[in-house]
Structure 1
Amino acid sequence: MSLFALIAETARSMVGVPSYAAYRAHMAEHHPDAAPMDQVAFFRDRQQARYGGKGGGRCC
């Protein structure tokens, strides 16, 4: 990972933007039989969970 990518990922984490790469890694490790959301669906799901949904939106 380049220095810029590391800084960008850190900044996103600090402001609450979830990592799609981390989500994919989690899905591969914990839910290998389930199809992961695409990046657009993931972003919308996280926005809904953060700003407009009931519950925490966590699977585990």
Structure 2
Amino acid sequence: TYLGQAARLMVGLPDYGTYVAHMRATHPDLPVMSETEFFRNRQEARYGSGRSGGCC
């Protein structure tokens, strides 16, 4: 639902269903990430890979 999607976006959680629909409609020749891959991808895009570039 639109309200649920808006709530997820407000707290920084993109909607997997919207992503899948977009990929199938716009990029049918490209593979669709699994829900786990999608979550990790969005998490890395938002917070980085978790590596600070230092020694620890």
TM-score by shorter chain over 0.5: yes
TM-score (norm 2): 0.73
Structure 1 runs not aligned, ≥5 long: 54-60
Question: Displacement of 1:6 after TM fit?
Answer: 5.2
**1:20 partnered with 2:16:** yes
Report which of the two structures shows the higher radius of gyration computed on alpha carbons. 2
Q: Could you tell me the percent identity over the aligned residues?
A: 49
Tell me whether 20-29 or 6-15 shows the greater mean CA deviation: 6-15
Higher relative contact order (CA 8 A, sep 6+): 2
Please, what is the CA RMSD of the aligned residues?
1.5
1:48 to 33, 44, 50: 44
1:36 to 28, 32, 37: 32
Aligned residues: 49
